[in-house]
Amino acid sequence: MAGATKEEIELVLRSARRMKDIVNSADKKAPLLHGKSIVNMFWEPSTRTRGSFELAAKYLDASVINFTPRRQLRRQRGESFRDTLLTVTAMGADAIVMRHKQEGSASLADTYVAPIIINAGDGAHEHPTQALLDLYTIIEVKGHVDGLKTVIVGDIDHSRVARSDIYGLKKLGADVHLVGPRTLLQPELAKMGVTLHYDLDEALDGADVVNVLRIQKERQGIGFFPSEGEYRSLYGMDRKRLQAAKKDVLVIHPGPMNRGLEIEPDVCYGERSAVQEQVKNGVCIRMAVLYLTIIGGDESGITR
Ligand code: CP
């Protein structure tokens, strides 16, 4: 999202709106990518992103395969990152959707092979399609993004979602606030043009949108600090806490949720939550991204 223009983001969002009509139709089919091949390569686990890219490809009538490259197997067989990409390219891939724990891996892949490379998450760096579906969900509920006080809560330092969301929200004119413990929210992030808080109630005051992030235990080398109990009592999102925000606040979460740690059931399953709609919108966004990157043009070509 760092390199995307406001116009490019808006094009994806308009295209996703058309894709949602397809997803809401009886057969969910539009042969817009007939004859195209898409390869999903996920070096890190994924439920939502991988599943929605696969469904998106199928709804648009592309051929799709999923590889889960195993590090141990690759080492035993001696195949490098580059050779693995060259192999799927030789199979005829038009696009490779990839998730990798290494920051910059998608950019590197783009220099190695000709198919379109779509970043489905690279370490703690970026997760652009998550940011696009978050923007789409906000617009669907609120009608716009500009001027909305949007609060991102939690493990900001380890979050690729936070970075991509900040870029996208800022480009569409939101007032972005970050809040979390000092161990998970470095002061340098203020350089992104956002307001930092370490007190949750202060950050939530008058919020239009609250994005609760997953605590990424797998990226915290020295163990989780503060303790889970401390974190829950200071930053865990429950209905009482949420009262500091506006009455019609929208709550989103990228998933998977650590329910009972960063978010309580009365919020994530409550009437202010759009967590399930985010997942559905993820399919529409990924249909739009596949279509626009492989076929090009604009949303006018998206017909059934
Ligand atoms: N939000 C997200 O990226 O979820 P997955 O890890 O399940 O793809």
pLDDT at position 68 is 83
CA distances from 177 to 35, 87, 203, 231 (A): 44, 43, 7, 19
Residues of the chain with pLDDT under 50: none
Sign of CA dihedral 67, 72, 73, 77: positive
CA distances from 39 to 46, 68, 69, 96 (A): 15, 10, 12, 5
Structural domain span for residue 187: 128-275
* Residues 10 and 121 occupy one common structural domain: yes
The answer to whether residue 303 is domain-embedded is no
* Residues 170 and 222 occupy one common structural domain: yes
Distance 141 CA to ligand 1 centre (A): 21
* Residues 139 and 203 occupy one common structural domain: yes
Q: Does residue 46 have its Cβ closer than 6 Å to ligand 1? A: yes
Exposure pattern of 229-240 as b/e (b: 16+ CB <10 Å)? eebbeebbbeee
* Residues 271 and 284 occupy one common structural domain: no
* Residues 13 and 76 occupy one common structural domain: yes
Does the annotation place 127 within a ligand binding site? yes
The answer to whether residue 285 is domain-embedded is yes
pLDDT at position 216 is 80
The answer to whether residue 230 is domain-embedded is yes
Q: Does residue 218 have its Cβ closer than 6 Å to ligand 1? A: no
* Residues 143 and 244 occupy one common structural domain: yes
As for how many domains the chain has, the answer is 2
pLDDT at position 304 is 82
The answer to whether residue 86 is domain-embedded is yes
* Residues 73 and 155 occupy one common structural domain: no
The answer to whether residue 304 is domain-embedded is no
User: Residue with the nearest Cα to atom 4 of ligand 1?
Assistant: 48
pLDDT at position 71 is 63
The answer to whether residue 300 is domain-embedded is no
pLDDT at position 78 is 72
pLDDT at position 113 is 98
* Residues 211 and 246 occupy one common structural domain: yes
Q: Phi and psi for 188 in degrees, rounded to 5?
A: -60, -25
User: Residue with the nearest Cα to atom 6 of ligand 1?
Assistant: 46
Q: Are 248 and 225 in contact (CB under 8 A)?
A: no
Question: What pTM did the predictor assign?
Answer: 0.96
Ligand 1 atom closest to the CA of 127, numbered from 1: 3
Distance 32 CA to ligand 1 centre (A): 25
Ligand 1 atom closest to the CA of 214, numbered from 1: 1
- Residue 96: count other Cβ atoms within 10 Å of its Cβ: 24
Global ipTM: 0.99
Distance 161 CA to ligand 1 centre (A): 10
Does the annotation place 223 within a ligand binding site? no
Does the annotation place 71 within a ligand binding site? no
Distance 57 CA to ligand 1 centre (A): 17
pLDDT at position 73 is 58
Q: Backbone dihedral region of 255: left (phi > 0), alpha (psi from -120 to 50 degrees) or beta? A: left
